[in-house]
Amino acid sequence: MTGNLLWATIGAAVLMTAPASEALAGKRYEATITRTTYGIPHIEARDWRGVGYGVAYAYAEDNLCLLAEEFATVAGERSRFWGPEAKAVLGFEEVDNLSSDVFFRAVIDLPALRKGAKTLSPRVQDLLAGYVAGYNRFLKDAGTQGIPAECRGKPWVRPITADDMLRMNEKQMLLASSLNLAPAIANAAPPGSPAPKVAINMPDPKELGIGSNGWAFGSEVTADGRGMVIGNPHFPWKGPARFWQMHVKGPGGYEVMGVGLAGTPMPTLGFNKDVAWTHTVTEARHFTLYQLALDPADPTRYLVDGKSEAMTPQTVTVPMPDGQTAVTRTLYSTRWGPVFVVPARGITWSAQSAFALKDANRGNQRGIETWLRIGEARNVFDIKEAVTQTLGIPWVNTIAADRDGGALHADVTAVPNVSAAKAKACATPISGLFAEFAILLDGSKAGCDWDVAVGTPEPGLMPALDQAVTFTNTYLTNSNDSYWISNPAMPHRQLSPILGKYATARSLRTRSNFIETAALIAGGKIDHARAQAHAFANKSLAAEMTLDEIKVLCITTQGLAAAVERGCAALADWDRRFEATSRGAALFRAFWPKAARLPGLWQVPFDPADPVNTPRALAIDGPKGEKLVAALAEAVAELDTAGIALDAPWGEVQRVMAADSAIPIHGGPGTLGILNMQESLPVPGGLTPRHGTSYIQIVGFDDKGPVADAILSYSQSTNPASPHAYDQTRAYAEKQWHRLPFSAKAIAAETIGKPKNIAE
């Protein structure tokens, strides 16, 4: 694209962003961007257009290639630019490009999104318009040579329009629901069609590693009697689901500091002068599955109350690279949503039956307004109102505290209004097989649609009154288990099963959370220093619960193989933590997944009356002990094969490469009961983080405003040439917290470079 044509296209794109209610003529976009330590941008604008304008410009400065690629992804253009068989992260898992393109071209309903956008509040429309203008302005200012080397001259780095933002927002809403079934939807075809050429899975969010920890401490347990939040979301270290820090000061007194994902026009997790909040992925399910009874005469028709209905065909065409013939596919949808297949799980499209998915977050455009209202809150009750009135939060818990010492946990999201009674009445003979993943309903009965409640923003959503909201002045916390317990002293009443499991065993990470939080409170009133130590304790509850018994096995088992003796010695000297200096952690990381799946692992079973301390007591008698020893032998062999010493310091095993230097990374898998979660992928000679602890914030309040310490573990920029590509990663490695500059005085003291004013 020539320079003149590029700027002409950018100009046209900017004009297209104006809300329908306003003409752009005579209006200006303007923002000031001031950078402080670690490159954190402080964006100030007089109106919402200016806010979006400044946020987009600053984000593009740090992460242009990532964001440009994401716009190509949501437009269904990955095959064209990177080839159909290549893979990229879609949401939280790798998906082949062709499946990704088919999914986005079929599932994102642009006409409906455009129609819905006209009903958004003027400020949301302005934010989105400003974001488009700011992104395009950066392209103009950067020119060809200002584009990072990784994407310089690439055809997918292009100006954007309002449609790109609508697609991006829709994708964010579907992250924990339909998006995880993109290949299953994109490769669904009537019986007699060729079998899918790609692997199709039906992932569980817990298996994906989606997670987080969040704490809200109230006035009864903090040192100053004010509220405090510890936020520890676990998100990918690479890709568009990375967090990015920002401080935004906009119209009407709006001032929020925190983080957002790629394409987010304001902070979605953070704090203002009176409240702080964080999010954790909820166990609630945001979709239901429907089993279809097909018309015997035609597998593209299905029966509802005995009457035949035609599926709606949708043909999508995906462009291929280098002039190759485009790929065309026809997908089918029903009143319940798109048909999908997961052959490996027996979810097929036969002559008799098929399956469809109905998603509560499809078309959810309420989220931005919800987060704006949270950002304007003055106490936790305001946050509760924002969340419950809009039902715009797509798939996360909201955990918050305020300067008055109130604490809130709201597991309130856009969730289908399916009661326990309806789930039971509409179950099919195979619904039990799906229970771990979703609620399966009978699609042959119209009455099995979601119930419509009065007052919800969209029909079929569960009203907030039927979801979980808890206030206290002590503490509330969540580590991705269900609403049942966010404080062991105050369990919640039982709600619909679509909101998660009730009175069932909690994960080791949840149990570790309750144990460590109780110890924190027992040790005295909580201040920032104690909160910091709590967040990065790196203890493994699995190790605390099992290593004494493992030592007994090592001593009493006769004829141990040499490899097992080496393993026993390494574990005996381990400090049971995942600090960078811990020796033996790598061996336990390899051992525990093998041991945890053994039947009859615990002597004391789960007791719903004691969910924090049960199950417990490792069973080591007879064959059970033999299997544990065998699991240890397998773990030793695994590390030997990988070339990792059994007693290697953990920071030499789990690391991030920054140019030619290695940065040691503390923390470990949440399945081992480690709060500071880091899930890692194998690399030559060790491991490197895939997802886990990302933006960690500890926020309290003084008389003047917020007091916030934070670290962004993977740093602000994905551009290797940026000075802010690894600086916070090194700070994370050293547990070096950063007191965030919020006041004008603090910002001035930390300013790096000259503030940048952009306007047009």
Instruction: Report the C-alpha gap between 572 and 193 in whole angstroms.
Output: 57
Q: What is the mean pLDDT of residues 121-139?
A: 98
Instruction: Report the C-alpha gap between 1 and 157 in whole angstroms.
Output: 11
- Measured CA to CA in angstroms, residue 595 lies from 405, 592, 682 at distances of 43, 5, 20
Backbone Cα Rg of the chain: 26
Q: What is the mean pLDDT of residues 696-722?
A: 97
- Tell me which of 586 and 194 has the higher pLDDT: 586
pLDDT tens profile 89-112: 887 778 999 999 999 999 999 999
Domains, the chain, ordered by start: 3-188 (1.10.439.10), 541-674 (1.10.1400.10)
Instruction: Report the C-alpha gap between 712 and 727 in whole angstroms.
Output: 9
Is the pLDDT score of 541 beyond 70?
A: yes
What pLDDT, on the 0 to 100 scale, is given for residue 205? 53
Is the pLDDT score of 200 beyond 90?
A: no
List residues with catalytic annotation. 212
pTM for the model stands at: 0.94
| Mean pLDDT, the chain, whole residue set | 94
pLDDT tens profile 456-469: 999 999 999 999 99
pLDDT tens profile 482-507: 999 999 999 999 999 999 999 999 99
Is the pLDDT score of 6 beyond 90?
A: no
Residue with tokens 């039947």: 599
Q: What is the mean pLDDT of residues 381-410?
A: 98
Confidence band for 11, pLDDT divided at 50, 70 and 90: very low
Confidence band for 325, pLDDT divided at 50, 70 and 90: very high
% the chain with pLDDT above 90? 90
Is the pLDDT score of 25 beyond 50?
A: no
What pLDDT, on the 0 to 100 scale, is given for residue 203? 67
Sign, Cα dihedral of 35, 37, 39, 45: negative
Is the pLDDT score of 269 beyond 90?
A: yes
The tokens for 678 are: 């880091």
DSSP code, position 539: B
Is the pLDDT score of 192 beyond 70?
A: yes
pLDDT tens profile 354-389: 999 999 999 999 999 999 999 999 999 999 999 999
Sign, Cα dihedral of 244, 249, 254, 257: positive
| Ranges 46-55, 85-94, 301-310, 639-648: which has the least confidence | 85-94
Confidence band for 158, pLDDT divided at 50, 70 and 90: very high
Question: Alpha helices, DSSP H only, in 143-251?
Answer: 162-173, 182-186, 205-208
Please state the three-class secondary structure of 444-508 as a single string: CCHHHCCCCCCCCCCCCECCHHHCEEEEECCEEEECCCCCCCCCCCCCCCCCCHHHCCCCCCCCH
pLDDT tens profile 560-599: 999 999 999 999 999 999 999 999 999 999 999 999 999 9
Collapse the DSSP code of 725 into the 3-class scheme (helix H, G, I; strand E, B; otherwise coil) and give the result: coil
Is the pLDDT score of 2 beyond 80?
A: no
- Measured CA to CA in angstroms, residue 96 lies from 84, 187, 195, 467 at distances of 7, 11, 16, 36
pLDDT tens profile 222-245: 999 999 999 999 999 998 899 999
Single-letter residue type at 12? A
Residue with tokens 């995880």: 180
Prior bond of 615 cis (ω within 30°): yes
Instruction: Report the C-alpha gap between 739 and 227 in whole angstroms.
Output: 17
DSSP code, position 196: P
- Tell me which of 93 and 263 has the higher pLDDT: 263
What pLDDT, on the 0 to 100 scale, is given for residue 606? 98
Confidence band for 22, pLDDT divided at 50, 70 and 90: very low
Is the pLDDT score of 674 beyond 70?
A: yes
Q: What is the mean pLDDT of residues 435-454?
A: 96
- Tell me which of 601 and 20 has the higher pLDDT: 601
Classify strands 244-249 and 40-44 as parallel, antiparallel or unpaired: parallel
